[in-house]
Amino acid sequence: MNYEKLAQLLIPDADVKPLEYYEAQYPERGLEKGAEVTRLAPSPTGFMHIGNLYVALANERIAHQSGGVFYLRIEDTDEKRKVEGAVEVILSSLKYFGVEFDEGADMGGAYGPYYQRQRAEIYHAFAKDLIRRGLAYPCFCTEEELEATRNHQTENKLLPGYYGEFAHCRSLTEEEIEANVKAGKPYVIRLRSQGDVEKKHTFRDAVKGEITVTENNQDVVILKSDGIPTYHFAHAIDDHFMRTTLVIRGEEWLSSLPIHIELFNVLGFKLPRYGHNCSIQKIDGEVRRKLSKRKDPEASLTFYREQGYHKQAVKTYMLTLLNSNFEEWLLKNPETPLEEFKYSIGKMGKSGALFDIVKLNDISKTYLATLSAEEMYDFLQEWANDYGTEAQKGYFADKDYMLKILTLYMGIGGKKRRKDFICAKQALETIAWFFADGFHPEYAYKFDNATVKQILSDFAAAYDFADDNQAWFGKVKAVAEKNGFATDMKAYKADPTAFPGSVSDVAELLRIATTGLSNTPDLWTIMQILGEAETRARLQTAIAAL
Ligand code: GLU
């Protein structure tokens, strides 16, 4: 077989440059020793999985902490999965969570283009070189023929794939190939694998540690019939020429590692270090399974923005999943910027990370409780502008009013900060009753209507907006006493049957009448914030409803 001639036939010289050209075009980066070049290489499907943030954060931390480079490469070789505007979604959602690239798609950089579709020439040049060296060949098998092979393999319990005796086109003669090409038969280019599945090697995975890898024997497709490379081939060439030193990627790629090792080998490239990151899982009833794009809304990054989780909380939570010693560090350094945490690949989980929304909520509550009322105001307003209802946008019309509500609800100035807020959506829903169109009380009292009516009316008559907290409570007590309710809690506890209820029941009635809720922060302060007119109006509405 004249491989040189075959290479010319399949990929003419005019379409590619000599290999040295690319080496010169994309030289070594000349970074300090230890500086890592990492990347995020998503397919532009328009959907950002929480796993994308997870792996992005790991790569970003490692690159930036080592003084290296973190870049974005768009793996758009699969036309069917491509979605318009997907790159914008990737950039903006990662930026929102504070993950920024140094170079890459839509940003530029010396190692571009960063879209695989724009790098066709490089892939062709290297495919041609492999053909020339007898390490790749054209395959004319049709889908039907491949399916027949698959069926045969399944029926006979043989290893699936295109290898050995099943690699039909591996042994085509020069004449057969020429005739097929002349006849216009479509073909793909396959690697002529040199591997042997009987051979196993020890491989050091940066995350999983020592693993055993079986040699590849599959004649995998490297260029599809439209000349577009497969992920396997494209990523090997790109990681080499973008001078990637470390690939942290999802563990779903572990099974392809043997192919990648062989490809780097035949291409004559140094293999970068690989670290296969465990996937994010959740407990679903009895089973532990991967977070699913279809079943779990929390699998999508959009979910966190729509709910209004603070980016810092999400990032903090991701770090607790990523590095086993992060939480301990966070406890000791609650005020220190996350960037100062020393991220360590060695502390990454070797098996599945368990996603726990309760924990994320806890972290979110704790984080939001460190904000000032002003910061919370800005955070909520920004969210409301993007995702809130028209009514929620309106909550920000009177800044002073909103700041008072937030100060109360966050326990600012009190003995201990409250942790009522989890995310922006929930926070605005929690305080909605402060606003006319969010106040829809159901008035679930524990006493009969006549008693409630009497108590509310007595309080309304005694109420004076100018009263301080103490004087106000004095009046609540007086109303309780007048209606036979206990004001001495000791006496009440000694014999509860002697009273219809206690002063705290009276306070609860007033609370329900004013807020619609039985559980809120301090009621006197609430009445102060609502203002005299609104407080009186609410009491009257409650009385009228009885
Ligand atoms: N395009 C691949 C994906 O979206 C990238 C895998 C890798 O990081 O190498 O899963």
Q: Which residue is it, tokens 């940003």?
A: 107
Q: Are 124 and 141 in contact (CB under 8 A)?
A: no
Q: Are 83 and 120 in contact (CB under 8 A)?
A: no
* 252 CA: nearest ligand 1 atom: 10
pLDDT at residue 82 is higher than 80? no
Q: How many residues does the chain have?
A: 546
Give CA angle at 62 (58, 65), nearest 5°: 135
Question: Which pair of structure tokens corresponds to residue 500?
Answer: 């219809």
Using a 6 Å cutoff on CB, does residue 77 contact ligand 1? Answer: no
The amino acid at residue 380 is L
Q: What is the mean pLDDT of the chain?
A: 95
Task: Break the chain into its structural domains and give their ranges.
Answer: 3-15+121-277, 283-344+355-368, 373-438, 449-544
Same fold, 3-15+121-277 and 449-544: no
Q: Rounded to whole angstroms, how far apart are CA atoms 61 and 278?
A: 17
* 249 CA: nearest ligand 1 atom: 8
* CA of residue 372 relative to chain centroid, distance: 26
User: Residue ranges of the alpha helices (H) in 164-274?
Assistant: 174-182, 231-241, 257-267
User: Residue ranges of the alpha helices (H) in 270-415?
Assistant: 301-307, 311-322, 326-332, 357-368, 373-387, 390-394, 399-409
pLDDT at residue 424 is higher than 80? yes
* 39 CA: nearest ligand 1 atom: 8
pLDDT band at 116 (very low <50, low <70, confident <90, very high): very high
Give the pLDDT score at 103.
97
Question: Which pair of structure tokens corresponds to residue 10?
Answer: 């399949």
Sign of CA dihedral 502, 503, 507, 509: positive
- Ligand 1: residue whose CA is nearest its atom 5: 41
Enclosing H/E stretch for 9: helix 3-10
Using a 6 Å cutoff on CB, does residue 238 contact ligand 1? Answer: no
In this structure, the strands spanning 136-139 and 188-191 are antiparallel
Asked, as a colleague might, if the bond just before 500 is cis with ω within 30 of 0, I would say no
pLDDT at residue 45 is higher than 90? no
Ligand 1 center to 131 CA (angstroms): 26
* 253 CA: nearest ligand 1 atom: 6
- Write down the pTM of the prediction: 0.88
Q: Which residue is it, tokens 């020793």?
A: 33
Q: Rounded to whole angstroms, how far apart are CA atoms 410 and 403?
A: 10
Q: For ligand 1, pick from 52, 55, 117, 231 the residue to mutate: most ligand atoms within 8 Å of CB.
A: 231
Q: Rounded to whole angstroms, how far apart are CA atoms 242 and 111?
A: 5
pLDDT at residue 250 is higher than 80? yes
Fold (CATH) for 449-544: Arc Repressor Mutant, subunit A (1.10.10)
* 209-231 exposure pattern, b = at least 16 Cβ within 10 A, e = fewer: eeeebebbbbbbbbbbeeebbbb
Among the listed residues 51, 47, 40, the one whose alpha carbon sits nearest the alpha carbon of residue 355: 51
Give the pLDDT score at 14.
84
Question: Which pair of structure tokens corresponds to residue 474?
Answer: 């004095």
Reduce the DSSP state of residue 151 to 3 states and report it. Answer: helix
Reduce the DSSP state of residue 136 to 3 states and report it. Answer: strand
* 55 CA: nearest ligand 1 atom: 8
Using a 6 Å cutoff on CB, does residue 232 contact ligand 1? Answer: no
Sign of CA dihedral 533, 534, 540, 544: positive
pLDDT in tens, 270-306: 999 999 999 999 999 999 999 999 999 999 999 999 9
Q: Which class in CATH covers the domain with range 3-15+121-277?
A: alpha beta
Q: Are 65 and 343 in contact (CB under 8 A)?
A: yes
Using a 6 Å cutoff on CB, does residue 42 contact ligand 1? Answer: yes
Cα Rg of the chain, angstroms: 33
Going by the DSSP 8-state scheme, the letter that residue 269 receives in this structure is P
Q: Are 484 and 501 in contact (CB under 8 A)?
A: no
Going by the DSSP 8-state scheme, the letter that residue 521 receives in this structure is S
Give the pLDDT score at 404.
98
Q: Are 36 and 63 in contact (CB under 8 A)?
A: yes
Q: Are 510 and 456 in contact (CB under 8 A)?
A: yes
Give the pLDDT score at 13.
86
Give the pLDDT score at 47.
84
For the chain, count helices (H), then strands (E): 23, 13
- Kindly state the average pLDDT of the residues 349-372: 93
Ligand 1 center to 47 CA (angstroms): 14
Q: Could you tell me which residues come within 8 angstroms of residue 541 by beta carbon, excluding any fewer than 6 positions away?
A: none
User: Taking the domain 283-344+355-368, which CATH number applies?
Assistant: 1.10.1160
